[in-house]
C-alpha cells in the first residue's frame, strides 16, 4: 500500500501504519511505547539540566545528566510495557532481565541519547533502538525483527522498519507521529560522505577511498551525530557514512548492539549496505555487549568501493 503523504484526508499515524504491517500486536505495542517515551526524552533534551551526572558508563565516558535521564525514561517504559524480556542500553553495564523468556516477548538494545555531548551546542541528537524476538540480545543483527530511531532535530522524526521497508514519521503540533515518507529507498551511489574519526589515523586504503570520493565530487557532510548523519543519507537516498578502524582503535568507535546493528538493518531495508570493511555488519556474531566495529554504511556501490580500497590497501 502506497500513501502519498498529504493526499489522504486522514494523516496516517504510527499505530495505524504498524497495524498495516501484519505484525504481532505485542511488537506494535512495544514500538508505540518507545515512540511515546521519545516525547519525554524530547522534553528532557529541550529543558533538561546539562550538568554532569558524576557517574560514568562502562566505556569510561562521563555520563551527562541527559544520558542518564533519557535512559531512565525509556527503560521505565520498556519494563512496564509487559512485552519485554531483556533490556540493554549504552548506559547499562549488563543486560537487565525483565521477564523470563516466553512466547510473544521481545528484547531491546538501545542507545537512549546518541550524541548527547552535542546537546549543549544545540546540534541534533537521537535515540537508537534494536528489537529481537525472545530473550537473547547477543545474536546477529540480521535476526532483528525491528529497528528504529527518533531524531531530535529542528523537527522530531521517527524512522522504523519491521523488515518491510523503511518509513518516516514526523511529529506534528499535537505531538502525534504522522507518516511523511514511506518505503525510503537508497540510490546505488551518492555524492555525500561522512568521515568519522581522525583522518590522520586512517589506513592507507581508507585514505585512498576518501581521496576517490573527493575526486568524484562528493561533499563532506558530518555533524558528529550518528543519527542525523545517517538520517540525512537515508532521507536523501544517497551518501556514505564511515567510522573506520583507526591506527589507535582497530575496532573503530561505534557499538555493534545498539548503534550499528539497528542502523545497518534500516539501511539494508532501504536497499543500501553496511559493512565493517570485511563482512556485512548484520552478519557479525557479537561476542560482547560492548563490542565495537568499524563501519561503512550507505549506498551499496559506495560501500563496495570502500571494501575494494581496503582490500587493495
Q: Which residue lies nearer to ligand AHG by CB, 33 or 259?
A: 259
Grid coordinates representing 272 are 543500501
Looking at beta carbons, which residue is closest to Mn ion? 114
Q: Which three cell numbers stand for residue 35?
A: 515512540
Residue 196's binding partner among ligand AHG, Mn ion, none (Cβ under 5 to 8 angstroms by kind) is ligand AHG
The answer to whether 195 contacts ligand AHG (rule: CB under 6 A) is: no
Q: Considering only the stretches 112-120, 132-140, 276-284, 286-294, report the one whose residues sit in contact with Mn ion under the rule CB under 5 A.
A: 112-120
**In the chain, where do the E strands start and end?**
52-56, 62-64, 84-89, 96-97, 106-114, 125-133, 146-152, 156-161, 167-171, 177-181, 192-195, 219-220, 240-243, 273-275, 295-298
Q: Which stretch binds Mn ion (CB under 5 A): 54-62, 84-92, 95-103, 269-277?
A: 84-92
Q: Residue 111 interacts with Mn ion (CB under 5 A)? A: yes
Using rule CB under 6 A, residue 226 touches ligand AHG: yes
CB-based contact 234:165 (threshold 8 Å): no
Least CB distance from residue 58 to ligand AHG, whole Å?
12
Bin 183: left if φ > 0, else alpha if -120 < ψ < 50, else beta: left
Rule CB under 6 A: choose which of 33, 71, 91, 114 binds ligand AHG: 114
Q: Which of 134, 224, 271, 280 binds ligand AHG (CB under 6 A)?
A: 224
Cell numbers for 233: 543519507
- CB of residue 93 vs ligand AHG: minimum separation in angstroms? 15
Would you tell me how many other CB atoms lie within 10 Å of the CB of residue 210? 19
Phi/psi-derived region of residue 224, left when phi > 0, alpha when psi is between -120 and 50, beta in every other case: left
Strand pairing report for 240-243 and 273-275 = unpaired
Sign of CA dihedral 98, 61, 292, 232: positive
Provide the grid cell at 70. Answer: 533519557
Q: Which residue is nearest to ligand AHG (CB)?
A: 226
Out of 141, 197, 205, 239, the residue judged to bind ligand AHG by CB under 6 A: 197
Task: For the CB of residue 162, give the shortest distance to ligand AHG in the complex, in Å.
Answer: 24
Q: Identify the burial level of 140 via C-beta atoms within 10 angstroms of its C-beta, where 0-12 means exposed, 13-18 middle and 19 or more buried.
A: middle
How far apart CA 74 and CA 55 sit, in angstroms, is 19
Work out the angle at residue 99's Cα, subtended by the Cα atoms of residues 94 and 105, and round it to the nearest 5 degrees: 105
User: Binding residue for ligand AHG (CB under 6 A) from 253, 292, 300, 305?
Assistant: 253
Nearer to ligand AHG, 66 or 179 (CB): 66
Judged by CB under 6 A, which stretch of 100-108, 154-162, 175-183, 220-228 contacts ligand AHG? Answer: 220-228
CB of 153 to ligand AHG, least distance (A): 13
The CB-of-308 to ligand AHG minimum distance in angstroms stands at 24
Q: How far is the CB of 145 from ligand AHG (least distance, A)?
A: 23
Binding site residues, Mn ion, CB under 5 A: 90, 111, 114
Binding site residues, ligand AHG, CB under 6 A: 90, 111, 114-117, 196-197, 224-226, 253
Amino acid at each position: 500500500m502506497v500513501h502519498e503523504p498529504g493526499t489522504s484526508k486522514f494523516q496516517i499515524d504510527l499505530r495505524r501504519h504498524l497495524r498495516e504491517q501484519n505484525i504481532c500486536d505485542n511488537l506494535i505495542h512495544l514500538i508505540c511505547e518507545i515512540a511515546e517515551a521519545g516525547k519525554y526524552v524530547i522534553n528532557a533534551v529541550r529543558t533538561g539540566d546539562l550538568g554532569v551526572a558524576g557517574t560514568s558508563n562502562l566505556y569510561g565516558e562521563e555520563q551527562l545528566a541527559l544520558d542518564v535521564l533519557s535512559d531512565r525514561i525509556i527503560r521505565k517504559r520498556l519494563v512496564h510495557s509487559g512485552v519485554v524480556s531483556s533490556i540493554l542500553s549504552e548506559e547499562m553495564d549488563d543486560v537487565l532481565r525483565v521477564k523470563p523468556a516466553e512466547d510473544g516477548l521481545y528484547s531491546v538494545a538501545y542507545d537512549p541519547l546518541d550524541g548527547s555531548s552535542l546537546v549543549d551546542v544545540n546540534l541534533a541528537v537521537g535515540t537508537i533502538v534494536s528489537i529481537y524476538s525472545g530473550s537473547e540480545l547477543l545474536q546477529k543483527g540480521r535476526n532483528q525483527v525491528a529497528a528504529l530511531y527518533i531524531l531530535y532535530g529542528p523537527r522530531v522524526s521517527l524512522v522504523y522498519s519491521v523488515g518491510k521497508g523503511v518509513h518516516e514519521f514526523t511529529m506534528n503540533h499535537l505531538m502525534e507521529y504522522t507518516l511523511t515518507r514511506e518505503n525510503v529507498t537508497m540510490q546505488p551511489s551518492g555524492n555525500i560522505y561522512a568521515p568519522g574519526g581522525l583522518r590522520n589515523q586512517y589506513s592507507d586504503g581508507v585514505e585512498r577511498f576518501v581521496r576517490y570520493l573527493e575526486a568524484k565530487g562528493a561533499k563532506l557532510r558530518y555533524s558528529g551525530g550518528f543519527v542525523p548523519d545517517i538520517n540525512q543519507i537515508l532521507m536523501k537516498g544517497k551518501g556514505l557514512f564511515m567510522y573506520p578502524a583507526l591506527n589507535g582503535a582497530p575496532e573503530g568507535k561505534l557499538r555493534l548492539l545498539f548503534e550499528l546493528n539497528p542502523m545497518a538493518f534500516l539501511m539494508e531495508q532501504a536497499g543500501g549496505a553496511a559493512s565493517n570493511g570485511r563482512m556485512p555488519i548484520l552478519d557479525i556474531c557479537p561476542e560482547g555487549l560492548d563490542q565495537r566495529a568499524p563501519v561503512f554504511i550507505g549506498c551499496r556501490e559506495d560501500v563496495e568501493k570502500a571494501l575494494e580500497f581496503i582490500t587493495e590497501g
